[in-house]
Amino acid sequence: MQLNEILSQFEIKGNYLSCEPYGSGHINRTYLARLEENGKEVKYILQKINSNLFKNVDGLMNNIKLVTEYNRGEIIKRGGDPNRESLTIVNAKDGRSYLKTPDNEYYRVYIFIEGAKGYDVVEKPEHFYESAVAFGKFAQLLDRFDSSKLYTVLPDFHNTVKRFENFKKAIEENRAGRKDKVLKEIEFALSKENLVSKIVDLLNSGKMPTRVTHNDTKLNNVLIDEKTDKAVCVIDLDTMMPGSICYDFGDSIRFGCNPCLEDTPETEKVKFSMPLFEEYTKGYLSVFGNTITKIEKDNLAMGAVLMTYECGIRFLSDYLDGDVYFRTSRENQNLDRTRTQFKLVSDMTSRFDEMLNIVEKY
């Protein structure tokens, strides 16, 4: 089906003008659709959902529907603008939140949020702070939402115990015959085994609350107002699942507190930025009030270490398996990714008390 035909299957009025590729996402295909309604141009986001990755599109879209409807209600209670501060699903004409075509392709439509953009890198510390405010507000808005209602899109995604077991299996099988080239990296990873169960055990025991987690808390998943530089809305809700906010906090730190590219071969330039960690922590905790528990606060810094470590052992496992999961464009790219993550882990653990003090400060 042509894109204009697909759009005509949604509850959209107006005359079709154009539909062009949009954004920098790698998972779903995203388009900016323009229509003319009552003499004005109106924009929508059209996405083709990657059903190879997301096998249960109905479960995925039900998650997004439940969370956005709940959030919109909370935003209205607080006097905000739900059409700007939350994603807004446009239903298909059959009443569903997505369209399934005769070719078994899946599409969804959101209202376009004007005057806001995402950033792929931290251009200003203020943007990193604002992303923290946005993700903190996202979690805080959903404080009373029953996370057990959500379908688990990617089972065991942040189960560090299982990730570690998979890593040991990759060492044992040594499918690509590369084990002897990475003995130093393997030794480092194995030396951190005592960390892997810390948050998993707290969640399983009920000592730490299970909340709605976003699970892709990168800067570019927050829209920033182009005039005010203030956070507007959290986007890309595909990986929402029950989990710990320490995971979301930690993944933001892993991504944002490294001044270098994730796959830089110049590992000596990789350095954990404590000023950016403080900036993010200040923003994240500024919106929580009393809704964050002591055990969550005590483990935010551990979340940063664990998410970085988890990513490192995933890259190293894939290197040992022959680069079969993560896309690579050159030799040793997964190894460079591994070394970057492990350098950050090393920096974090050596300055862990500073991280704890910063969390306590805010």
Does the residue 321 lie in any domain?
yes
Does the residue 194 lie in any domain?
yes
Cβ(112)–Cβ(44) under 8 Å? yes
pLDDT value of position 223: 97
Judgement on whether residues 304 and 207 belong to the same structural domain of the protein: yes
Judgement on whether residues 202 and 333 belong to the same structural domain of the protein: yes
Residue at a domain's end among 114, 133, 156: 114
Judgement on whether residues 213 and 328 belong to the same structural domain of the protein: yes
Q: Tell me which residue of 91, 109, 88, 92 sits closest to 223, measured CA to CA.
A: 88
Does the residue 41 lie in any domain?
yes
With H, G, I as helix, E, B as strand and everything else as coil, classify residue 185: helix
Q: Identify the CATH number of the domain in which residue 76 sits.
A: 3.30.200.20
Q: Is 96 exposed, middle or buried (0-12, 13-18, 19+ CB in 10 A)?
A: middle
End-to-end, the C-alpha distance of the chain in Å comes to: 52
- Write out the H or E segment, with its range, that includes residue 213: strand 211-213
Q: Tell me which residue of 260, 320, 282, 299 sits closest to 131, measured CA to CA.
A: 282
pLDDT value of position 53: 86
Structure-block tokens of residue 263: 């796959």
Q: Tell me which residue of 159, 152, 134 sits closest to 238, measured CA to CA.
A: 152
| Integer Cα distance of 98 and 92 in angstroms | 6
Phi-psi region of 23 (alpha: psi -120 to 50; beta: other; left: phi over 0): left
Locus of tokens 């009920």: 206
Q: What is the DSSP string of 21-48?
A: E-S--SSSEEEEEEEEETTEEEEEEEEE
Judgement on whether residues 284 and 176 belong to the same structural domain of the protein: yes
Range of the domain at 27: 3-114
Judgement on whether residues 27 and 130 belong to the same structural domain of the protein: no
Does the residue 270 lie in any domain?
yes
Residue at a domain's end among 88, 114, 140: 114
Residue at a domain's end among 58, 88, 114: 114
Question: In the chain, how many domains are there?
Answer: 2
- Write out the H or E segment, with its range, that includes residue 223: strand 222-225
Judgement on whether residues 131 and 87 belong to the same structural domain of the protein: no
The CA-CA-CA angle for residues 269, 273, 279, to 5°, reads: 155
Judgement on whether residues 228 and 345 belong to the same structural domain of the protein: yes
Does the residue 293 lie in any domain?
yes
Cβ(107)–Cβ(44) under 8 Å? no
The CA-CA-CA angle for residues 84, 234, 143, to 5°, reads: 100
Judgement on whether residues 81 and 221 belong to the same structural domain of the protein: no
Judgement on whether residues 348 and 291 belong to the same structural domain of the protein: yes
Judgement on whether residues 195 and 258 belong to the same structural domain of the protein: yes
Provide the β-strand partners of residue 225: 116
Does the residue 279 lie in any domain?
yes
Does the residue 177 lie in any domain?
yes
Judgement on whether residues 93 and 189 belong to the same structural domain of the protein: no
Cβ(106)–Cβ(49) under 8 Å? yes
pLDDT value of position 124: 85
Judgement on whether residues 334 and 212 belong to the same structural domain of the protein: yes
> How confident is the prediction along the chain (362 residues), in pLDDT tens digits per residue?
899 999 999 999 899 999 999 987 768 999 999 999 999 999 999 999 999 889 999 999 999 999 999 999 999 999 999 999 999 999 999 999 999 999 999 999 999 999 999 988 778 889 999 999 999 999 999 999 999 999 999 999 999 999 999 999 999 999 999 999 999 999 999 999 999 999 999 999 999 999 999 999 999 999 999 999 999 999 999 999 999 999 999 999 998 999 888 899 999 999 999 999 999 999 999 998 889 999 999 999 999 999 999 999 999 999 999 999 888 999 999 999 999 999 999 999 999 999 999 999 99
Q: Identify the CATH number of the domain in which residue 160 sits.
A: 3.90.1200.10
Cβ(232)–Cβ(85) under 8 Å? yes
| Integer Cα distance of 11 and 45 in angstroms | 13
- Write out the H or E segment, with its range, that includes residue 308: helix 300-321
Does the residue 35 lie in any domain?
yes
| Integer Cα distance of 209 and 243 in angstroms | 8
| Integer Cα distance of 45 and 49 in angstroms | 12
